[in-house]
Structure formats: structure tokens, C-alpha cells
Chains A and B, each alone.
Chain A
Amino acid sequence: MSEVNPYYLGAFVTYLVVVLGIGVWAYRRTRSVLDFWVYGQSMGPGLATWSLVANFVSSVSVIGFIGVVYTEGYALMGHTILGLMLGLAALYFVVGYVRPLNVLTFPDLMARVTGIQASRPLAGTILLVSGWLYLVMQLAGASLLVTAITGVPYQQMVWVIAGVFIVYTVLGGLVSVAWTDLLQGVLMVTAVAVALGFMIVDQGGLTSINESLTALDPSRVSPTAGGAYTLLGISASFLAFFGTILTEQDMLIRIAATRDVRTAKIHVAAAGVILSVLYTLLVLLGGATTVALVGAGIELPVEGGRLIADAAFPALITQYVPTGVGVVIILAVMSAILSTTDTRLHAVGMTVARDLYSWLRPDATERRLMRVSRASTIVLGLTAAAVAVDPPGTIYDLYAFRAVIITSAFFIPVYAAVFWTAIDGRAVFGAVAGGGVMGLIAHAAGGALGAVPSTFVGVGTATLLLLAFHAAFRRIGGTPADPR
């Protein structure tokens, strides 16, 4: 992996120059903090759709999911991707109730439905940790891939990628992010289709790929991975990923950026169609990758007795496909990874400025908020890069961890409050805190408490606390606006 491939390196450098150029252009269009945060709330359906698509497909989707398919086959389609797609469908049906509230972030939403301003730092802190973890994953995934394909050492690549993305996100905020997303989304979908097309022809057809995968091990084409997953486990994973779609900070930010409810609905609906097809293609590409690597006798590295499954896709690019096809795939993968990186970077910076700083300093000027946004984007981006140099766990592990936490904390309490206006805000506040803590404890205890998966522990705790606190506070009296 130490040899530098000039074509791949050239494609990577060109890509970075283009997105930096968009960043400079976006800087001139960013005149207010609302432009920086939410595109001045004027995003149209086309830009919003492709921005959502590009943000949604990340290093987890490409590097992580193909790695998971390599080790356990297509079961991922049921326990994770189906949950994500149903989450998008659910988001479509609730967006008509969220967008009219005219909130900018998820903590804003929680504060609005609870009437408790302290919801903002509580939710903001949880989402900041979640978003920052996601950023670490993105940087690790991006650097792993680009290192594999260009030969530039991983430790250096983390800093190069982080540096470029910090610069253009700081320059133009969501204006930069959205327009680079448009470019990245179109590139990504086109290139994934081309890559799968190549692999289908190379492997003698889709049926042949699936039959070869079955011949390797029939569990690879089983929804339960041949019994490795129980129905309870699949349901818990499903719920965790379903919930993240409704509770991710960047999803709420993008909804706030659309110009009206109609645009918000169109962008979620259209992105759902594109993403469900794209994920199907990606998972099949994972199957084709597995069959190709095994058939060619290409082995993945093992570190500390653990197979590095995340190396499957980079191995396909560097050791299997011809350079021309490799360049196309690299454009797709870089688009997928880097579009999510900039969105998360923007979201964590906005979380600090909007949900934490402006709560502490409600009279802060617009100029001050812009400076805090930019400064926090730089600091959080650099710290994420520092951790990504030696990431704790595989990409998918981190992905699942943060999904459990935010779904446990927010999913039931906040959306119950959107539709149940009589609920006591203090009950929502307590349920979010209790659900998040219990989800964290259960996940830290090995992913379950007894036989109950961590997501069910967290979501169950939040639901029970919501009802119990609501009943208790109704007896005590007082109002959510006066929690003391």
C-alpha cells in the first residue's frame, strides 16, 4: 500500500480543489448567520434532495456496509437499511408537523415542544457528542480509503482531509455544504451504478454473484445471517436506525433550510426513492466485492486476531478493478464520505453556537454567533481528526453506538410531545435524560442488559419515564415553563 498511484492521487487532489473552489464561492454568498446555519431558509427541492442524499450516504454506507456484507452477507439489508428507509418514510409523514414549528435544530424542537429552555443544552450536548463521534468515523473511513488508493500514509491523510473540509465548511456554512453535496450526490449515484455494472459483467451476472455468495456460505444470503441474529436483535437494531433518522441534528437542520413545508416533503420523498435504490445497489456491490476478492484469492489484513473488514472495498479498488474503473469508484466513494463529513462538521459547529452558546448568551449578536460557529467548527474538526488518527473500534461499531444513544434519548419523548401537546414538558425532559443514560449503560454493558438489547432498554426506559413523570407532574402541578 505504500506505492502512490498517480491517477488515484490526481483524482483525489482535483476533487479537493473543486470543493475548495465551491467553498470560496459560497463564502461570498453567505451574508448572515441564518445563511451560514440554514441556507437562509430558502433551499429549493432539487438542492435539498441531493444534499440529503449525499449527506445520508457516508463512509459507513460504503466502507462499513461493504465490510459488513463481506463478513456476514446481506442480513444488513434487514436489520439496518430497512430500518433507515422506514425512518425516512416516517420523517416524510412527520415533516409537515415539524417544519411549521420553524425551529432550526433538534434541541430547538425539544425546547419548543417542552417549553423548557434547558432542553437546548441537554439535547445539544447529547447531539454534539453523537455528531462528533460521527465525524471521527467519517474522517477515519475517508482516510482509510484514500490512503489505500493513493498510498499516502493514513496519519497524514486524516489531517489533509480534515483541513480541506474545515476550510470550506468554515467559509460558506450550509451554502458550501449544500452545493458540494449536489455535486457529490450526482457523482456518487452515477459512479455506484457504473461500478456495480462493471462487477455484474465481470462476475457473469447478478444471479451468478448471488449464487457464488450462497456457495461460499448460505448464511450470507439469509436475513438472519443463518441464525446469527435473533428476531429480538434484528428488531433492536432496526429500531435504533429508524430512530436516528428522526433525531439526527443534520436532518432537522436541513428541514429548517427548506423554504416551505412542500419543499420539505418533496425532498424527503425524493431522497427516499433515490436512497432505497442506491442502498440496494451498494449492498449488491458488497456481495460482488466479496465474491470477487474470495475468487481472486485476495485476503484482507488481520490486526490483533481481528479481520479488518473495512478494508474490503479499498482492496477491491486497489487490487481487483482496472485503474479506469477504480477512478470512477473513487469519485463515488469520496463523494459519499466527504459529503457527510462536511454536513456533520457544519452540524456540530452549529450545535455549539445555536444550542449551547446562544442559550448561555441569548443576547449575542449575529456577528458573534457567526464567529462562534466558525471557531467551534475548527476546534471540533481538529479534535475529531486527532482521534481519527487512531480510531476506537470499527466504523460500524461507532455508527451503532451513537444510533443507540440518540434513539434511546429522543425518539419517543420528543415525537410524543410533537403530537401530544398536553404532555408535561418536564416529563419529556426527564424521559430524554433517563432514556439516554440507560441506553448508554446498556450499550456499555455489552449491548444488552440481560437478554434485552440496549436500544430496547433505552427506548423502553424513556417511554416508561415519560408516562410516569407526566402522571407525577400532573399531580404536583406547576408549569413546564417554571420547572423549579
Chain B
Amino acid sequence: MTAFGLPGPMFWVFVATIVAGSLGALHFLIVHVALGRPVVETLPPALAREGQGAPGTGSAEGGGPE
């Protein structure tokens, strides 16, 4: 089988690449647009860590060299 002059395996690699790049968009359109679920702006409690908040311009959590 050939498509656009390409052998089947090579053609499917091209298709897979476009699908791979579009996975995020497909998810966003289905979950957040079609199903209307809001985007969660915070971490789930199980993954939350101390020290969240607006980043300062100094060190990440106020500490320097240990």
C-alpha cells in the first residue's frame, strides 16, 4: 500500500506525528469545551506543597546556599 507515494509504514508515521501533536488540543476541546468542565487552577490536595504563591525575585523559597 502507498499513500502520496509513501510506503504504508512511513505514511503512518506521518499520521501518528500529527495525531501526537494534536492530543492536547483534542483533550481540551472534548473535556473543557464540549463537556464544559472548568480548568482547575490549583493543585489537587494530594499534590500540594508548602510555599506556593506568587514567586519572588529572590530565591525560590527564600533560601540561599545551604
Contact = CB atoms under 8 A, between A and B. Distances in A.
B25 A273 contact: yes
Interface residues of A, number: 74
Contact of B46 (A211, A261, A262, A421): A421
Interface stretch (A4-12, A86-94, A304-312): A86-94
Contact of B52 (A81, A100, A116, A223): A100
Contact of B14 (A88, A93, A280): A280
Contacts of A363: 58
Contact of B60 (A78, A120, A280, A483): A120
B20 A206 contact: no
Contacts of A206: 4-5
Given A116-B66, A206-B4, A265-B28, A362 B47 contact: no
B36 interface: no
Contacts of A276: 17-22
A93 B34 CA distance: 18
A216 to B, nearest CB: 12
Contact of A221 (B10, B43, B57): B10
Contact of A120 (B17, B46, B59): B59
Contact of A117 (B41, B47, B61): B61
Interface residues of B, number: 44
The 6 A-B residue pairs with the shortest CB-CB distance, nearest first, are A276-B21, A210-B5, A92-B24, A269-B24, A89-B23, A85-B21
A221 B6 contact: yes
- Find the residue from B16, B23, B65 having the highest chain A CB count within 10 A: B23
A53 to B, nearest CB: 11
Contact of A362 (B23, B27, B42, B58): B58
Q: With a 10 A CB-CB cut-off, give which of A113, A276, A358 has the most chain B CB atoms.
A: A276
Interface of A: 33-34, 41, 74, 77-78, 81-82, 85-86, 88-89, 91-93, 96-97, 100-104, 107-108, 111-113, 116-118, 120-121, 206-211, 213-214, 221-223, 256, 260-262, 265-266, 268-270, 272-273, 275-277, 279-280, 283, 358-364, 366, 369, 418-419, 421, 483-484
A85 B59 contact: no
Given A74-B6, A96-B39, A207-B4, 18 more contacts: A78-B13, A82-B16, A85-B17, A86-B20, A89-B24, A93-B24, A97-B47, A100-B52, A101-B52, A102-B54, A102-B55, A210-B6, A221-B6, A261-B39, A272-B22, A358-B59, A359-B64, A362-B62
Contacts of B41: 100, 260-262
Contacts of A104: 55, 60
